[in-house]
Amino acid sequence: MRKLDSKIPDGPLADKWNNYKAGLRLVNPANKKKLEIIVVGSGLAGASAASALGELGYKVKVFCFQDSPRRAHSVAAQGGINAAKNYKNDNDSVYRLFYDMIKGGDYRAREANVYRAAEVSNQVIDHFTALGVPFARDYGGTLDTRSFGGVQVSRTFYAKGVTGQQCLLGTYSSLTRQVAKGSVKMYPRRDMLNLVIVQGKARGIITRNLVSGEIERHSAHAVVLATGGYGTVYYLSTLGLGSNASAAWTAFKKGALFANPSFIQIHPTSIPVLNDYQSKLTLM
């Protein structure tokens, strides 16, 4: 069995990723336009990554199997996004959010990465607000929050019960702006069939054009896989049938390591109703 090295940087928990970022080698702005990046997936992860990379000046190609990035499965997310902004002044903090996430992960998640997620949570809300996502606001005009997931503070930023849809529309408009500027090229209705490895590095993908049936090849300096969840490997799942791990599986076959397959979201909405005592509609 191979040991998975998650390459978490050294140092005290709260500083690990900040120190790592401070030491990263920079790419000369003049060189960015010479570097091509393939992003597979145009959900919240892929579309955000692609539009940010395009904005930075890289040449980006984005692939998805749907006819539009707006139909990525992110559209289904409902409840909201947790962030440690402490707007309700109920003593929330980055540490409290970190601690709640560690508990939520049954103490099995990697602490440094969870800390980083808690730390950047506030920027995520700022980012989506800047993209125009209409998060709920209270009567004073500031962003509203609600309390989610059994935590003792109110830190969930939401847009009614359609947070994912609204975030995806915001991300999509930012992606479309980059497409119009020419920094991002969109390839919808493409199914990634294989990953191309050159001297140990991912340098391209093979796709099937789902309209013409043609097999196509695309090369780049780097490949980002943002291909979403793999819920349908389980019989019961809230995820749509398209979330079938096909891209992750090709990467695995080419030597990528795959960890924690049991960390998958199952919503109460996917549990079949057995009798009248069971709630028929559960909103998360």
Ligand X SMILES: Cc1cc2nc3c(=O)[nH]c(=O)nc-3n(C[C@H](O)[C@H](O)[C@H](O)COP(=O)(O)OP(=O)(O)OC[C@H]3O[C@@H](n4cnc5c(N)ncnc54)[C@H](O)[C@@H]3O)c2cc1C
Q: Which residue's CB is nearer to ligand X, number 14 or number 66?
A: 66
> Contact between 243 and ligand X (CB under 6 A)?
yes
Cβ 224 to ligand X shortest distance, Å: 11
> Contact between 86 and ligand X (CB under 6 A)?
no
The residue range among 3-11, 24-32, 75-83, 97-105 that interacts with ligand X, by the rule CB under 6 A, is 75-83
Q: Which residue's CB is nearer to ligand X, number 174 or number 238?
A: 238
The letter for the amino acid at 25 is R
> Contact between 191 and ligand X (CB under 6 A)?
yes
Cβ 229 to ligand X shortest distance, Å: 6
- Give the separation between CA 202 and CA 251, rounded to whole angstroms: 9
**How many C-alpha atoms does 207 have within 13 Å on its Cβ side?**
25
> Contact between 81 and ligand X (CB under 6 A)?
yes
The letter for the amino acid at 46 is G
Q: Interaction with ligand X in 249-268: which residues (CB under 6 A)?
A: 265, 267
- Give the separation between CA 8 and CA 109, rounded to whole angstroms: 13
Cβ 7 to ligand X shortest distance, Å: 21
Residue of 257, 262, 252 whose CA lies nearest to 2:
257
Site size toward ligand X (CB under 6 A) is 37
> Contact between 165 and ligand X (CB under 6 A)?
no
Rounded to 5°, the CA angle 74-97-239 comes to 20
> Contact between 104 and ligand X (CB under 6 A)?
no
Q: Which residue's CB is nearer to ligand X, number 177 or number 267?
A: 267
The residues that bridge with 153 in the sheet, in sequence order, are none
Dihedral sign, Cα of residue 112, residue 115, residue 121, residue 123: negative
The letter for the amino acid at 63 is F
The residue range among 19-27, 57-65, 129-137, 211-219 that interacts with ligand X, by the rule CB under 6 A, is 57-65
Among 13, 32, 36, 79, binds ligand X (CB under 6 A): 79
The residue range among 52-60, 88-96, 98-106, 220-228 that interacts with ligand X, by the rule CB under 6 A, is 220-228
Can you spell out the DSSP letters for 22-90? Answer: HHPPPPPHHHHTT-EEEEE--SHHHHHHHHHHHHHT-EEEEE-SSSSGGGSGGGG--S-EE----TT-S
Q: Decide: residue 127, CB within 10 A, 0-12 exposed, 13-18 middle, 19+ buried.
A: middle
> Contact between 226 and ligand X (CB under 6 A)?
yes
Distances (CA, A) of 209 to 47, 69, 175, 215: 20, 16, 21, 6
Among 76, 109, 124, 136, binds ligand X (CB under 6 A): 76
Among 37, 44, 114, 175, binds ligand X (CB under 6 A): 44
The residues that bridge with 186 in the sheet, in sequence order, are 62
Among 16, 39, 74, 166, binds ligand X (CB under 6 A): 74
Cβ 226 to ligand X shortest distance, Å: 5
Task: List residues binding ligand X (CB under 6 A).
Answer: 40-46, 63-66, 72-74, 76-81, 163-164, 190-192, 226-229, 238-239, 243, 246-247, 265, 267, 284
